[in-house]
Homo-oligomer: A and B are copies of this chain.
């Protein structure tokens, strides 16, 4: 690894196949002097499709952030489109922490006046809606779409989910009046470049976007602010299963 800086890419679910997909996508765009450390929690949920799943995944994210910090990583990516545990992870981290939903949305506003989102299950749309509101991008999102397949369908090897994503992107391009499309799942990371080429408009994946944002923040000497409400968590006795987070 030499003197490379390490960016930790955390897949918040426990799927190793998806972790591999995400890691590969991250490496494909990383700078020459960036090492990608793609990890996932040892315990948790195999896929994240709702608030309950997110709450569990957030613990795994925090454990990984703590581990990553011990390993000297320079920043962290949360590679699930709901950005689970984002603000908690920022409290715990010294370096920057970027979620893939926010990364993709930020990038989209830089290349288009409005964007569409294509995600997996309809029940996750509300998570995207809340993020749009929290991040300030409600007016920049023209429409949200769900292909109505679970997250892990992206890893079943059939290509069905990928084709459904493609068709929804084409539909969104034709009907929404958007200039860009945001892919709403970490498991779609490998589709963005081909779709961008085929459709002729920016199709944005958050994993790769977040890696570049962390690289940028590190290059600028910017970590998570430790002044104010993202300061390190106050020291407390964390009991039981949470002791490891102390």
Contact = CB atoms under 8 A, between A and B. Distances in A.
Contacts of A31: 31, 219
A-side interface size class: 35 or more
Interface stretch (A16-24, A54-62, A160-168): A54-62
A193 B221 CA distance: 8
A123 B42 CA distance: 31
Interface string A102-139: 10001101111110000000111110011001111111
Interface of A: 14, 29, 31, 42-47, 49-56, 58-59, 62, 85, 87-88, 90-92, 96, 98, 102, 106-107, 109-114, 122-126, 129-130, 133-140, 150, 173, 177-180, 193, 196, 199-202, 204, 208-209, 212-213, 215-217, 219-231, 233-234, 236-242, 245
Lowest 7 A-B CB distances belong to which pairs? A43-B240, A136-B136, A212-B216, A179-B225, A201-B227, A51-B87, A52-B233
